[in-house]
Amino acid sequence: MERGTKRVIGNVSVGGALIAIFGLLAVSHLDPGFLNNDPELTAKANAGTPIVQGPVVPKPLPTELATTDQELRSAKSMAVAAGRPEAAWDKNCVGWEFSQADANQSPWAKQAMNTWLESHGASCPDAITWPNYFVQNFSADEIGELTVVLENVAKTEKLAENSAYQGLEMHAREIGDRLAGELPDLREVTIKIESSSRQATVAID
């Protein structure tokens, strides 16, 4: 084929392509939705196509035992950032022994607390379900008279007003029932919320 003929054919091809492009632009200008996907056709095409999502990887909770105030604060921050409620951040009991070091418990109160934890199969209150993870400390001025203190966050979260909570008296009764078999000298259980006047006392038969 001669060079002139090739040039003519090439020009015609380019011209045809330009005409087609201008035609599409003109139609899309008159009908803005012309070049858009048809929702109905798109839905039919995607029907039955599974939507694959990546696995949800939970953030790890602290497992190293805290031995200083700084380590305790860091462990708590890590657990709260991982999604644990502030009142139950220490699920793995990494800070329990350290936080109890200054509790000044009597031997009998400590025995009562350990017995209560063992009855739940737990090493610390945060490893127990609501509302027991609010328990902060056991104390006793006299053998047989147990006082259970719920941490201050129980007040800010309005535990006593929660309709799902059976009340301080029932909570004290439940704790007493768990201990009575192992502590025959237990006479009464008082439960109260830290920094609050709300409390209840029940006699243990």
Give the model confidence (pLDDT) of 167-203 as tens digits: 999 999 999 999 999 999 999 999 999 988 999 999 9
pLDDT in tens, 160-170: 889 999 999 99
H/E/C letters for each residue in the chain? CCHHHHHHHHHHHHHHHHHHHHHHHHHHHHCCCCCCCCHHHHHHHHCCCCCCCCCCCCCCCCCCCCCCHHHHHHHHHHHHHCCCCHHHCCCCCCCHHHHCCCCCCCHHHHHHHHHHHHHCCCCCHHHCCCCHHHEEEEEEEECCEEEEEECCHHHHCCHHHCCCCCCHHHHHHHHHHHHHCCCCCCCEEEEEECCCCCEEEEECC
Span 28-45, mean pLDDT?
A: 53
The residue extents of the domains of the chain are 3-37, 69-203
* Structure confidence at residue 27 (pLDDT): 43
Q: What is the value of pTM for the model shown?
A: 0.69
